[in-house]
Amino acid sequence: MLQRTLTGLPKITLQKPQHECGIFGVYFPGEDVSRLTFYGLYALQHRGQESVGIAVSKNAKIKAHKKMGFVREFFDQDITRLKGDIAVGHTRYSNTGGSSLINAQPAIYGNIAIAENGNLVNPEALRRKLAKFGYHPSYDKNGKCSSDGELIAQAIHSQKGDGIVEKIKNAAARDLKGAYSLTILADNALIGVKDPLGFWPLCLGKLNNKGYALASESCALDVIGAKYLRELEPGEVLTIDKNGTRSHFLPNTPKRQSARCSFDINYFLRPDSLLATGARAYEVREKLGQVLARKNRLDADVVIEIPNSGQFGAIGYAQASGIPLKVGFIKNSYIGRTFISPDQRIRQLGVKLKLNPIPRVIAGKKIILVDDSIVRGTSSRQITEQLFKIGAKEVHWRSTFPQVTNPCFFGIDIGTNDELISASKTPRQVAKELGATSVVFNTLEDFLEAVGLNPKTACTGCITGVYPINLPHRERNKFALEVAE
């Protein structure tokens, strides 16, 4: 049952898919690498809001500091104590393991510090294997470490090999099954790693002809004044040290095949971030909105974005359709996830502070609502009911992303089959479930063409149910490592 505000309108809770994290690294001897990393992580805050951490290396000695909360929780005294020539940083959403300080990254084991974006599909088996060689999870007063990051650090540390690159290659070939991008401190070097299929983004930038930076997205390079050079290749192991940069490749990297996450491009990338194609994310999203309008023409009065995820799709839709774009909701960006009051009436008022509709734009109108996706449908249902309560004549949903019919196993928390509204429903049935006049999704073919990918270069498992990696099982428990040994 929908909770209701004091005005009698339904409570809107914006339930969006969550990502795992943002990663960053900088090699810049003689400069304040910890502060550069802080600014880089600030630009990547949208990729994870549960914890933040920075590790620095000076003469191969690693020092780290981690905190729960936002990047801004890192204060000057935290940064100034981290002196070094190389740094890696991490901002986290807990896709594997609970939200606790023990799971915050960078993960450190021996002389290796790792910041990870992604998800292993074999964590329980890997932990059991490592335990046989004496590698066990770290513990604090709240429990044991249950994140992939520490497992990856242990797996690399456990390998035989001539230097860190050989150990990384051996770990990837024998133990690391899944989707991951990494920034690593080891052997007086900064190292960037992409899994053999290159699921998650990781780009390289140059600082003043002396330093280099690695980041999940180019927006973080922009913030610190680094020049974007390129996106790392699938399976690439890029080392950065006093001798410059050198590229190596993991032994199991396939030729002419990759699995770039489709959903990440559609939703998680900051709009000003660059894709490997050279386009900005906002340009691709505008194009997706234009495709929706051209292929599904509709007579309506107004186009409205769902803040802020539908912003550029709505712009593109309005451009192509000629239907005016209006602001239909006011979103308060300053209301956090933990807006709590002991008074129920005040809590209900707080809901309208988060997303408040504008009746004059809505009442008596045929409305097209544009969003980046409809996954669980919870918030879409609530928004639809609220608009009809205000007096909308028709409410038509348009999604720039195709129907999400299957869960993600590689780093995005988009629920199980039972939670996905499109798992067993046609668009017409989805519309009925939402109480909407109609619902239209971009087709997979139109989506891939607009983004500049094809089935051989993209992961579309959440759309098709066909995954680029063989999965040990089709059920995923993010807390599995908290019980496995």
* Catalytic residue positions, numbered: 21
Q: Which residue, chain included where needed, has tokens 């005005």?
A: 7
d(CA 194, CA 354): 37
Angle (nearest 5°) at CA 176 between 173 and 182: 110
DSSP designation for 278: S
Sheet holding 325-326, edge to edge: 325-326, 302-305, 366-371, 394-399, 438-441
CB 121 within 8 A of CB 409: yes
Point out which residues pair with 178 in neighbouring strands.
120
Q: What is the 3-state secondary structure (H, E, C) of 330-384?
A: EECCCCCCCCCCCCHHHHHHHHHHHEEECHHHHCCCEEEEEECCCCCCHHHHHHH
- How far are the Cα atoms of 62, 120, 146, 193, 234 from residue 151, in angstroms, in the given order? 18, 9, 8, 15, 21
Q: Which amino acid belongs to residue 92?
A: R
Torsions phi, psi for 432 (to 5 deg): -65, -40
DSSP designation for 274: B
CB 20 within 8 A of CB 92: yes
Q: Give the closest residue to 228 by CA, choosing from 275, 195, 286.
A: 275
- Show the tokens assigned to 413: 């928390």
d(CA 44, CA 273): 10
DSSP 64-114: EEEEES-GGGS-HHHHHT---SEEEEEEE--SSS-SSGGG-SSEEETTEEE
Point out which residues pair with 227 in neighbouring strands.
206
DSSP designation for 267: I
DSSP designation for 273: P
d(CA 359, CA 357): 6
The DSSP bridge pattern shows strands 355-357 and 366-371 to be: unpaired
Q: Give the closest residue to 14 by CA, choosing from 247, 356, 341.
A: 356
- Show the tokens assigned to 154: 């242990």
